[in-house]
Chain A
């Protein structure tokens, strides 16, 4: 059993915040870019804000154990609202802000939220749309006032007014607030997070103060995070990662949380802040790399030459230098020159100049992308985790970073592999339960506290690093019995900047087929340079020359697969380019943008059939959901391409 090494008086987020306000009263705790400049708050000011909101919540009648839904983009005021809810003994429940009203209704109903803190009018409208079905909701508090003047304010308040009321009632409500903060223990619920759910309805994961604070402590020690770190809080607040990084670790270590101006300015804000500790799903790194590659293609000849030459040097020696391994003097000099001419400026444009620790997780990252960043001297590492583990299951220690593993078990985490190949873990961060769902809790977590991850993996001999192959339920067999691991192939395809998303099918089939999504930015730029005119996404996606390019990419992937003895059967023999982007609003991706394989397989069954029956064209109609929830359909005729296989048994291709 893990021993509690966290002092007893630091067993809640409010307690940690108060400690930070004592220890670093003048240090910047939060920044938000608003009105063109970075507004900042010190720890003392942040505590004052959170306490004012907390007293305001008390005045509105927030009870112990109530659920407070938080819906909005990352803003200091919403983080403070979460702390304020905890101060009152209530449980914050952050929701995905881009969820449509229907999805939101399920979660609001399931957790029975009495208070909803909404970021702006858009979120308030969504709550109001479903409020008549949700009698539990008593108060709606909004952070941004614009457009809210005409609303019925009998049960609605502006967050600043709530805080102002809390300030006015300081003398009256402070004793009650302090009493409730003092009641908090390690066993109290810290937060409830709904898993996006690749299958079925979302489940409310209950995480206790022990889960969050123990995990934060262990992970801060692991990477030696201090109060001097700067992070950018831009990932959804409803996601466990953001809660650990921007709340747990930020509170434990006392570092600064920076909130971007809007989602659209995230890349600019990233560059201005230059975080020292950065987390991003592979997609963000892919996008950044894609935009670099596009700009390099438009660059002059000298710049192109410089880039190519020095990236060659970086690829050869960069990762070794980062890991502190011996490297020859000539290479060191070349790399040094490259830092001045290429790597430094490049890192600066991407906002990665100051990164000390960078993590990627959520999905496997393409090895080429991973190596690209490592070779620039960015300490990008991988971790493996889930909501139920308060993120951390395994992570890579400095100096042992590789693209094909997810690292060693995090401090305090035990990992074992079951007979079936499924990965199980047990840790202080292991969740308490699924809210109001004992069956799911029982089927996921056994009596000894072991949790099933649903992922298939194995420990590598010698190094003790965990390798994840795929979702346990997605790994299958081809008709001839060879291993089928779709995600492995998809990741290889997605390394090409022009491919945004790929879905590979082939379980129980003689060969593999794939759906591809073009990356509009990359392909649009390419089309412009090649004088290809197009009027819509659909037209560009179906353009014969785009298909030619895609065919080249698939052939290249097949060649690299042919070199892998266990996965050579997964070569893609036929593919098509989808006429629409896979979208979370249509249920094809999760809110964290993971592919929902089963749903896509059902929805596009006609396309899969066509891929296997040998036809060269297929007509289809697809239902799409617009951002406001309305539905429409798009019709398209898609061309199917055959691809040559690679390797000794390539002749086996049918049709």
Chain B
């Protein structure tokens, strides 16, 4: 059995998972009378791939929006790196090192792939608007540095051939990859992926899986993802939170979750074994 104490644990493939990076304590989120999330607690550890799964309308995306600071829960606390996080604007959350992708792609359609990914560097830009307008010295040097970082990501995600292509002209699978590139450009400590494989064909899914694993492996980025595709979740993640009707009904490593009666009944349907 793996050790899930405060010091972290070692995964089956030998990766070292660290201490708690983010913790959700008794989160409840209401929209008027509708309870989207009811009293949910879980943690995300440094270096792990954490999945949130559940049937449609279970509250997964709401949960992700709470983590990213877009929604402020009525009850409960969000702790990040050992500190309680007060309600914040999304850009403040981004500065803390949290980046995300969206279920419905949210890129700048008219801009090139390169420019889109460059926008991911925004939180790291230090030169002021005046510097940038004059475009001399600091601003220029800084952009060169950002461009170099962005090019590493372009290389990493193998999108060199579409570097100068306007995003609107790209097929869906590539747009998803560009979105991942933009999120990575922010050099996040925690990367939130909202259904990264939705609407993809098998080949695109396999590619995306490899990229997610490689990102985690290469950059040591902690990843929290929402996904529908059970096969993908089971293969990718270290630990899984299962939600149903806004409640947490399971939490643990994939094989454990898969065996849990509550999860099978609520989400996977009747077992055929």
Contacts and interface: CB of A to CB of B under 8 A. Distances in A.
B151 A36 contact: yes
A149 B217 contact: yes
B205 interface: no
Contacts of B217: 147, 149-150
Interface in B151-192: 151-152, 154-156, 158, 160-161, 163
Contacts of A262: 158, 160-161
B13 interface: yes
A76 to B, nearest CB: 16
A110 B19 CA distance: 51
Residue from B13, B151, B155 whose CB has the most chain A CB atoms within 10 Å: B155
B158 A35 contact: no
Contacts of A36: 147, 151, 154, 160, 163
B86 interface: no
A481 B121 CA distance: 73
Interface in A138-162: 146-147, 149-150
A187 B230 CA distance: 61
A264 interface: yes
Interface in B1-44: 13-14
A34 B214 contact: no
Contacts of A536: none
Nearest to B214: A147
A335 to B, nearest CB: 33
A35 B210 contact: no
Interface in B209-242: 210, 213-214, 217-218
Contacts of B148: 35
Contacts of B14: 150
B218 A146 contact: yes
B160 A150 contact: no
A326 to B, nearest CB: 45
Contact of B152 (A35, A147, A264): A35
A150 B13 contact: yes
Nearest to A264: B161
A285 B233 CA distance: 46
A36 B160 CA distance: 8
A624 B155 CA distance: 31
Nearest to B163: A36
Q: Which of B151, B158, B160, B161 has the most CB of A within 10 A?
A: B160
A388 interface: no
A261 interface: yes
A590 B158 CA distance: 27
A265 interface: yes
A49 B51 CA distance: 44
Nearest to B210: A147
Nearest to A148: B217
Contacts of A35: 148, 151-152, 154-155
A149 B154 CA distance: 20
A261 B210 CA distance: 21
Interface string A50-85: 000000000000000000000000000000000000
Contacts of B213: 147
Interface in A26-46: 34-37
B214 A146 contact: yes
Interface of A: prevailing SS: loop
Interface in B138-157: 147-148, 151-152, 154-156
A34 B160 CA distance: 9
A34 B148 CA distance: 10
A146 B213 CA distance: 11
A265 B161 contact: yes
A146 B156 CA distance: 8
A149 B213 CA distance: 11
B13 to A, nearest CB: 6
Nearest to B15: A150
Contacts of A149: 217-218
A147 B214 CA distance: 6
Contacts of B161: 261-262, 264-265, 268
Contacts of A150: 13-14, 217
B218 A264 contact: no
A432 B161 CA distance: 41
B159 to A, nearest CB: 10
A34 B214 CA distance: 19
A439 to B, nearest CB: 43
A268 B156 CA distance: 19
Contacts of B163: 36
Contacts of B154: 35-36
B218 A34 contact: no
B214 A264 contact: no
Interface in B100-127: none
Interface string A119-150: 00000000000000000000000000011011
Contacts of A37: 151
Nearest to B218: A146
A35 B218 CA distance: 17
Contacts of B155: 34-35
A262 B214 CA distance: 19
A439 B154 CA distance: 51
Question: Looking at A36, A37, A147, A268, which has the most chain B CB atoms within 10 Å of its CB?
Answer: A36
Nearest to B213: A147
B73 to A, nearest CB: 37
Contact of A265 (B13, B156, B160, B210): B160
A388 to B, nearest CB: 36
Interface string A10-38: 00000000000000000000000011110
A21 to B, nearest CB: 29
A268 B151 CA distance: 16
A75 B171 CA distance: 29
Contacts of A146: 156, 214, 218
Interface in A253-310: 261-262, 264-265, 268
A189 to B, nearest CB: 36
Nearest to B162: A264
Nearest to A263: B161
A264 B156 contact: no
Nearest to A150: B13
A482 to B, nearest CB: 48
Interface in B233-254: none
Contacts of A261: 160-161
A262 B155 CA distance: 10
A150 B148 CA distance: 27
A37 B144 CA distance: 12
Contacts of B158: 262
A261 B152 CA distance: 13
Nearest to B155: A35
Contacts of A265: 160-161
Given A35-B155, A36-B147, A149-B217, A264 B210 contact: no
Interface of A: 34-37, 146-147, 149-150, 261-262, 264-265, 268
Interface of B: 13-14, 147-148, 151-152, 154-156, 158, 160-161, 163, 210, 213-214, 217-218
5 contacts: A35-B148, A36-B154, A147-B214, A150-B217, A264-B160
Given A36-B151, A36-B154, A150-B13, 10 more contacts: A35-B148, A35-B151, A36-B147, A147-B210, A147-B213, A147-B214, A149-B217, A150-B14, A150-B217, A265-B161
Top 3 A-B residue pairs of the complex, sorted by shortest distance between their CB atoms: A264-B161, A35-B151, A36-B151
